[in-house]
Chains A and B, each alone.
Chain A
Amino acid sequence: MRPRWRKVLSDLVDNIARTILVVSSIAVGVLAVGVIAGAYVIISNDMSAGYAASHPANIEIRMDDFDDDFLNAIQNFEGIANAEGRRVFGMRVRSVGGTQWTMLNIVAVQDFEEIEINQLTAIGETGALGKNEVIVDRDVLDKVDAQVGDVLEFQLSDGTIKRLQLVGTVRDPATNMDDFLAPPAAYITMSTLPALHQPENYNRVYAIVDSGQDDDTHIRAVATALKDKIEKSGHAVHSTWRSKTHEHPLAATVNAILGILMALGVLIVFLSSSLIANTLSALLNQHLRHIGVMKLVGARDRQIFGMYLALILSFSALALLIAVPLGGQGAYALARYTADEMSFSLQGYRIVPIALVIQIAIGLLVPLVAGFVPIINGSRVTVLKAISGNLVQGTGDQAEGGAKRESRLERLQLRFTQMLNRRGIQIPRPLLISLRNTFRRRGRLALTLFTLTMGGAIFISVFNVRVTLHDYINAIGNYFLADVTLDFDRPYRLNEVKQYAAQVPGVVTVEGWAFANAEILYPDGSTADNMSILAPPAESELVSPILVAGRWLHPDDKKKLAVSDAILDLFPDLRVGDNLTLRINRQDEAWQVVGIFKFVGSQRLLAYAPYEYISLDQNLANRAYSYYIVTERHDRPYQEMMAEKVDAFFRDNGFHLREAKPGLSTLDAAVESLDILVAFLLIMALLTATVGSMGLAGTMSMNVLERTREIGIMRAIGAVDREVMRMVIAEGMLIGLISWVLGALLSIPFTYLLATIVSLAVFSTPIEVIFTPTGFIIWMVLVVILSVLASALPARNAARLTIREVLAYE
Chain B
Amino acid sequence: MSPAPPPSSSNPPLIELREAVKTYVSAAGSFTALKGVSLTVQAGEFLGILGKSGAGKSTLLNMITGVDHLTSGEVIVQTNGRAVSVHELDENDLALWRGRTLGVIFQSFQLLPMLTLVQNVMLPMDLCGLYRPRESRQRALELLEMVELEDHAYKLPTFISGGQQQRVAIARALANDPPVIVADEPTGSLDSVTADNIFDLFERLVETGKTILMVTHDHGLMPRFSRYLRIADGELVTEEANA
Contacts and interface: CB of A to CB of B under 8 A. Distances in A.
Interface stretch (B79-87, B118-126, B191-199, B206-214): B118-126
Contacts of B172: 297
A290 B115 CA distance: 11
Contacts of B91: 295, 301, 380, 382
A592 B236 CA distance: 108
Interface string A367-382: 0000000000000101
B68 A4 contact: no
B67 A297 contact: no
A6 interface: yes
Contacts of B96: 298, 300
Contact of A299 (B99, B113, B119, B175): B99
B237 interface: no
A713 to B, nearest CB: 19
Contacts of B98: 296-298
Contact of A6 (B115, B124, B128, B158): B115
Interface string A265-300: 000000000000000000000000010011111111
A808 B92 CA distance: 32
Interface in A352-395: 380, 382-384, 387
A4 B123 contact: yes
The A interface is mostly helix, strand or loop, or mixed, namely helix
A14 B95 contact: no
A10 interface: yes
B62 interface: yes
B95 A3 contact: no
B110 interface: yes
B124 A298 contact: yes
Interface residues of B, number: 32
B26 to A, nearest CB: 12
Contact of A384 (B67, B92, B126): B67
A303 interface: yes
Contact of B106 (A301, A382, A387): A387
Contacts of B122: 2-3
A3 B115 contact: yes
Given A7-B114, A11-B114, A301 B92 contact: yes
Nearest to A4: B126
B2 to A, nearest CB: 30
Interface string B137-165: 00000000000000000000010000000
A422 interface: no
A810 B113 CA distance: 9
Contact of B112 (A293, A298, A303): A293
Interface string B72-112: 00000000000000000001100110111000101000111
The 10 closest A-B pairs by CB, nearest first: A298-B99, A10-B114, A297-B124, A298-B128, A3-B119, A300-B92, A3-B123, A298-B127, A299-B127, A383-B67
23 contacts: A2-B126, A2-B133, A3-B115, A3-B122, A7-B112, A11-B114, A290-B112, A296-B67, A297-B124, A297-B172, A298-B96, A298-B100, A298-B124, A298-B128, A299-B127, A301-B91, A303-B127, A380-B91, A383-B95, A384-B68, A387-B67, A387-B106, A808-B158
Interface of A: 2-4, 6-7, 10-11, 14, 290, 293-303, 380, 382-384, 387, 808, 810
Given A297-B99, A387-B110, 4 more contacts: A3-B115, A294-B112, A300-B96, A808-B158
